[in-house]
Structure 1
């Protein structure tokens, strides 16, 4: 039994707020509701609600999550019904902002606005009609992911919040960027070197976007990854040549960008002639910053030379004792499987 006044005293005076989305919490003020709910009911547009709280003058209850119509609240006690409240207007969702405003497939974005509904409950976000994965949903903030499938093309996408499947928001634009390479520094280098790939749309981190760099179809190990810059190590290749570099982010592939993988180039050897066991300096380029980068090795007359110093443009070695005395002894530098020597740069070994 409800401790209420007579049916004639049962009355709704006001509601607040008077507009909102599904799930909006509404405060109903009036009189004669009874101090506890008991078997009394409160309904909206004919649908019985589960109130959050109940007192003789105030009832707090939510708009149904799947509601799509305007309507009035009615309180029913012991067969007596109150007057209908003022109309509650169910607002279409309003989308006011997207952060960030551009990105690659798989980018997490934050949508801000109003009247999205307190829970997702069948509502969704679309990018050019492709439904997005939702991470978090509230009445004024949605966190979601730019779709990675569905044939979306680079350019401006229409983003819409659809509440309960039939109440669309206004549309805002999101700029979809696919990975693209604008330059590689340096433009040529040896096996094992670390190159910087500049561009856009690579994604915030390699793990987040499943990022891959290939050089000549061979996977390159990545030292650093950001949306605009990648540092990758040149893999071993069978021959010095121009190879295509490609970046894959969220299964979207950049257009190829040319990069030259060079074999070591010898420019000079000093001193000449010299003796076995003496120090030989080899000048040139594409040797690698360190011996381990390629890795690198040197042979003289077919015998391994002991490395005393290694830089990208200079190597210092001890002439091996196994090398035979005589003229025109070949000096060969190997970096990552690619060999460099010059027939006109041969040394003479003397006793």
Structure 2
């Protein structure tokens, strides 16, 4: 037994050594934390109340786990992290070392000198911001005379905007950079906490492909509030911001720029670059000696029949250049690729009977079509509908004339997904281009309402109609109906990638109006026009739009109107006119623009017609962003359907779309109705329409040619 006792006691020193070695390996704090260490303090002098920053390591992120003293006087812990503590010099403190205790470990740092009469900084609010940010510095022993005071941000001098003994107001100077704030009063200086200068950040540029002279929208944050302090670099070429709105800068692409990163420069702060592509194959068209031309590549009449009036109504395009069309009087839609080849054709005439189709839009995998039908035609066959009839008028939800139908087709197959019939107890009608899709995927339909759509709407109190904009969720659920009482009927609706909504309408006085609305469908800007109609607006990057249609009033000096003229007008974000062109394709009758779209990179293209729908000819008009006409097909007394032997396809266009392929070539597609044969076509349907009207689609390329 004695031998066993001796062995046990001989092992105790070894065990103790092992335990102590384990504790030491876990750190000197005894609780798994490293020993605290002070590497510096800022400032190193000042009066009581001065904000003191202690830098080091091994601190606790919990305020209560740290203890601070200055010259032996306990000081409060204002904030804590593992590498930084903040405190304020307490009243009664005397000069001496700064000490920090974490757990059972105390470390001593540099000496702090208490100077009761010296200036001191207790806070800087805010402690971060962009160039031009207003900053308030609170402290003590300042002066009410600004001439006694100087302020700097990491060495960059700042203005003294207001001064008192305990508070100063200043602005972050143009050349400021990250670093401490310094206040000097009558040759005595006080150092404050670091101020973080926020560099401008670009989130997106719209569009990401442009031509010289086009407007570019730069969206981001931390831009300067004063417009002139924002500088923009495009591929190394410096330019100025022309306007700004809601963290968005707008600039015009200057001459000589061939592409490269876009950067925003505010003072000495530079954002990261965002790539920008310049279209060079169209750029020369903005010169004086080059003419833009539209070269016809193909024509399709794929949805025509020999015994029916096949009036094509509207067209949409997806990001891959696929086209989607819908006929007006037959329940037929189709998808074509950019070469004019049919991908699918969907016939839903028996599923959505007795419907006049007005518009089509595409969004990702969904195609939305909108039309109108008699409210008595309740049997919609195989389509599953939910009805949103108001019962506020005599308790009868089925009175009135026509209701609106919104339906979803699958973009990949053309199959019918869901449909909704909705409207008021009274007459509800659509015009052209009355469907649009927000970036969120919500669908908007604008209509003329004669009575309430839902219990939250009310009867029009001026005239007999109001504009209504119905918002649907992706699954077809009616989300809301916004009644716009200032307007009587809508002409058209469009959206942009910033969720802004653009409306062409008629007001209660019968005049044409343009309005821009928020995504919540509240009017942000509007203007009254002298034109007869506003077709679907073309959103522009600055929140304005290009509008077009026909006018019975002269819009340009020294130009007379014969019955009606086509027009195109650029409106700013507030609705004010920037430029306008009044266009007459020939001198024998009236003319009008029916459809328009933005060209990838800049400029707009419009399709128009002269004379009547039966005997008229289709035309093209293309304009630069600044308003200069690039191509007016009517100027050479021909149409873009001029074929061999001077034969022309008659009819009228209803829609136009554009697409830029991977090779940079810009394609243009038009949709319309013809009342004649199409010379040069090789298929078997190249005959005069037997049903009265046939649809057509064309594919063209835009090219620059030497005049």
TM-score (normalised: structure 2): 0.27
Higher-RCO chain (CA-CA 8 Å, sequence separation at least 6):
1
TM-score (normalised: structure 1): 0.50
